[in-house]
Amino acid sequence: MWYSQLWIVLLLSIMLLSSSSYIAAGRVEEENYSVKTSVFLSPPIYLKHGSVQDKYYHDIPFPRGHIAIKSFNGEVVDENGNSIPLHETYLHHWVVARYYIQKEAKDGDSEKFIYARNSGACRNLGQYFGLGSETRKTSTWVPDPYGIVIGNPMEIPEGYEEKWLLNVHAIDTRNVEDRLGCTECKCSLYNVTSDQYGRPLANGYVGGLHCCYDETQCRVKEGFINGGVRKLYLKYTVKWVEWNPRILPVKIFILDVTDTGDYPPGSSAMNAPFSCKVEYSVPSCDSSSEANRECVDVRRTKVVLPHGGDIIYGVAHQHTGGVGSALYGEDGQLLCSSYPFYGKGEEAGDEAGYIVGMSTCYPKPGSLNIRDGELLTLISNYSSLRIHTGVMGLFYLLLVEPQPKLNTLFSLQQVTVPYLVENWWVILLAGGIMAVVAAAIYRRNETDSYQMVVS
């Protein structure tokens, strides 16, 4: 009788612990879903027909404090907030980078500037966020319980403060002679023979970033009279939550299909000259290939991640002509494939002939892992029915440290160190109940033994 009552108490205690865990998880989940939204405008972008703006803006408005970013999206709008279609202003790319600067220092003082880059190996692709024409219809959401954690006081060097930099590359294609040629930065249309630093263009370089830099002009239609200057903005929307111990920080990796992996002796991926070329050109296929419907240019490269993790999110970045990209593990397993969506209309977000979105990967947490030092294969595919210049084959990954898993009486639940730290009271309660039960059993055994002696 006494033992059955004790077992009932023990069972009720276990149920109480289980329910308290659910209450704690529910409370934290509610906190995680208190998503805040901040909307900002870049400094004004002034464009006339055929002109290019490719400027960098330091210390842009951005959410402050120790927080976790859940998504980041941007689009070009006019003074009234109206979305501008790609066939009027082509958003070649926008990128947002994180940096630290000494307090009271000016942003132009490079000696007091520390670039807080992402975890990838490409030195010239160190940004935290960035997309292009696909920005309106590409998901950037970081699922719970993950987040891009920023503003951690323990990471900011003493005497410095965290700030953000924005680069917007926009091309006005109204009334231009060759709209696709302008967006692909064909040098003949920009009438340039040197890059933005005054260096002569390399032999055979016919199009790309070195021909459509800031303040260049793409050729407009013959007889067109200047239509005036237009004032635009990049509107960027940041969704974020306050940091709490339940959030698991992700690391950002940006892979590049042009990465040669050529590092001089004694150097590493982090201090070698640029091995990521960022852009490349696609030659047109021959007539026989076109007849056989084989006009696809396939580029591939091998990439090593010194430190891997579980894949949380993946997406590719391609330009017009792109037909998809894929990332494979060392054993040949497909880790993520990403395909473009092309628009079919005229309105912003559905512009015919332009990539208006990219498909994304959200693997089940813990289902896909990249080992430390694993050799990955990145593939980027483009249609080669015609020549394409200045195309890109980037791949964004969010990885998280693998988390231990624990079986409970009622469910299989992921238990992490931050979870245990936040719910210390559950552990303390469990220990207290176990101590009480153990003491009761001990005392009962002592009583039983005494009764046996005196009888």
Predicted pLDDT at 63: 97
Contacts 24+ apart (CB under 8 A), 149-157: 149/66, 149/67, 149/68, 149/69, 149/243, 149/247, 149/249, 150/66, 150/67, 150/68, 150/69, 150/98, 151/64, 151/65, 151/66, 151/67, 151/243, 152/66, 152/243, 153/66, 156/100, 157/100, 157/114
Q: What is the 3-state secondary structure (H, E, C) of 241-259?
A: EECCCCCEECEEEEEECCC
As a whole number of angstroms, the distance between CA 214 and CA 54 comes to 4
Predicted pLDDT at 228: 86
How buried is 150 (Cβ within 10 angstroms: 0-12 exposed, 13-18 middle, 19+ buried)?
buried
Predicted pLDDT at 253: 97
- Read off the pTM: 0.80
Predicted pLDDT at 261: 76
Which residues make Cβ contacts (< 8 Å) with residue 46, sequence separation at least 6?
A: 53, 229, 230, 231, 232
Three-class DSSP category at 82: coil
Predicted pLDDT at 262: 67
Give me the amino acid identity at 58: H
Q: Distances from the Cα of 80 to the Cαs of 51, 90, 382, in angstroms?
A: 21, 19, 37
| H/E stretch holding 266 | none
Give me the amino acid identity at 276: C
Predicted pLDDT at 294: 78
> Which of 382, 397, 148, 163 minimizes the C-alpha distance to 281?
382
- The alpha carbon of residue 148 and the mean position of all alpha carbons in its chain are separated, in whole angstroms, by 9
As a whole number of angstroms, the distance between CA 452 and CA 444 comes to 12
As a whole number of angstroms, the distance between CA 338 and CA 324 comes to 6
Three-class DSSP category at 431: helix
Q: What is the 3-state secondary structure (H, E, C) of 125-191?
A: CCCCEEECHHHHHCCCCCCCCEEEEECCCCCCCCCEEEEEEEEEEEEECCCECCHHHHHCCEHHHHC
Predicted pLDDT at 223: 82
> Which of 66, 71, 74 minimizes the C-alpha distance to 95?
74
> Which of 235, 255, 237 minimizes the C-alpha distance to 338?
255
Q: Distances from the Cα of 95 to the Cαs of 151, 164, 218, 250, 321, in angstroms?
A: 19, 10, 23, 19, 22
Predicted pLDDT at 338: 98
Predicted pLDDT at 104: 81
Token code pair at residue 337? 């494939």
pLDDT (tens digit per residue) in 169-219: 999 999 999 999 999 999 999 999 999 999 999 999 999 999 999 999 999
Weakly modelled stretches of the chain, pLDDT under 70: 1-33, 107-111, 262-274, 287-293, 405-455
